[in-house]
Amino acid sequence: MKKSDNFYEFLNLKKKKLKIEKHYFQRDLLYKLSEIPKKLIQAKSTFNELVRKKFNFNIYIFGKPGGGKTFIINCFLIYLETINLKKLVLRTHFQEFMHLIHSEINLSRKKKINNPLKKISKKISKKYKLICFDELEIIDIADAMIVSNVFRALHENGTNFLITSNFHPDSLYKNGLQREQFLPFILFLHENMELLEIKNDKDLRKSKEEEKSSYYFPLNKKSSAFFEADLKKINKKKDLSKKIIYSMGRKLILEKTSDNLMLCNFTFICSFRFSANDYINLAKLFDWFFIDKIPNLGRNKLNEARRFITLIDILYENKSNLVIMAEKKISEIFDVKIKELPYSRTTSRIYEMTKYSKQILLRNS
């Protein structure tokens, strides 16, 4: 391939513009990604289905939060766009993708279509040769029961996968209900994907200047004053009003919103009312999310903690801005005894999001 077609060289050329800092523990990932475009071009130009299936370049990247997995994948997608290959790639949130699959299956069954997954996978694979899932995590039992069949069907039709996760495949859906029915997916990952571990010794998202963020604690008058001041900077003294939206056929009433922001407390946004798809729809509606009264999340709030993790993942994926007022500092939001929750990824993402949001707020001062 030409020098300009090499992802590693692209990063060197764009280092200042993209604010890239390459670290030794990312080296193998950078080289592996550099091999994908050539294979993607081959898959695109090969019309023989049997030959196309030979161009496998599935990579499962796992490691601790803050190793730069998401950032590098985002840079890779920017690179693919510069060489006109991005249209062959689907970058999506896993839960949003699985919701689409469930909806398509249900619709096909209503039309009495036999083997709907086969038809759906062919349709997707015809358009996309690579699907990127960032921070793959299986929470929903409905997803766990069919994910193996979904991936196998897509793979058999020539679609490849680029996946990042905080978990080794063997640890996915750990302690989940009916996990034995999920095990074929783990087997699929081992059989068809190259496993690449990012062994970062530090969290790159965390700043030494933690005070320069839009995260305020504890729940007192001083924190409230900072929180309200940030709200005024973004809202420009507009009145907050009630907004009614419809998500998945359900009516949701948002009490305090304006054109580009939503203000709410933790109890409301992480209550039973909201699903992952509701959060996805909210992230499409608003640029800024102001969330107050976040308590310490222990076993007495396990369901709320899971929803909060999903919310942060979706806001992060959609590059939303975030302002938070909480009972504890970021590193202490979650009770560390709750080992089944990926809380370290969530706290790491909150560090990054609130630091970036604060930079915007300071420019608006």
Residue 209 lies in a domain: no
Residue 8 lies in a domain: yes
Confidence of residue 216 (pLDDT cuts 50, 70, 90): very high
Domain that holds residue 229: 215-363
Reported pTM: 0.75
Q: What angle, rounded to 10 degrees, do the helices at 141-156 and 94-110 form?
A: 80
Same domain? 236 vs 183: no
Residue 336 lies in a domain: yes
* Cross-strand pairs, 60: 163, 195
Same domain? 166 vs 223: no
Helix, strand, coil % over all residues of the chain, rounded to 5? 50, 15, 30
Confidence of residue 209 (pLDDT cuts 50, 70, 90): very low
Q: For position 90, which CATH number holds?
A: 3.40.50.300
Q: Which of 181-185, 272-276, 337-341 has the highest mean pLDDT?
A: 181-185
pLDDT at 15: 65
Residue 274 lies in a domain: yes
Q: Would you say residue 290 has pLDDT above 70?
A: yes
Same domain? 71 vs 25: yes
What is the identity of the amino acid at 131?
I
Residue bearing the bigger pLDDT, 19 or 176: 176
Same domain? 247 vs 194: no
Same domain? 191 vs 259: no
Q: Which of 47-61, 69-83, 214-228 has the highest mean pLDDT?
A: 214-228
What is the per-residue pLDDT across 105-115, written as a single tens digit (0 to 9) for each?
A: 988 888 888 88
Residue 204 lies in a domain: no
Q: Would you say residue 46 has pLDDT above 80?
A: no
Residues in CB range of 61: below 8 A, 6 or more apart: 29, 69, 162, 163, 164, 165, 196, 197, 198
Structurally, how many domains does the chain consist of? 2
**CA distances to 187, 298, 324, 327, 328 from 218, in Å:** 45, 17, 11, 5, 6
Same domain? 236 vs 271: yes
What is the per-residue pLDDT across 113-130, written as a single tens digit (0 to 9) for each?
A: 888 999 999 999 999 999
pLDDT at 362: 86
What is the residue whose two structure tokens read 């580009």?
260
pLDDT at 207: 53
Q: Which phi and psi (to 5°) does residue 28 adopt?
A: -60, -40
Same domain? 287 vs 223: yes
Cβ–Cβ < 8 Å for 281, 288: no
Same domain? 190 vs 296: no
Mean pLDDT, rounded, for 196-213 = 71
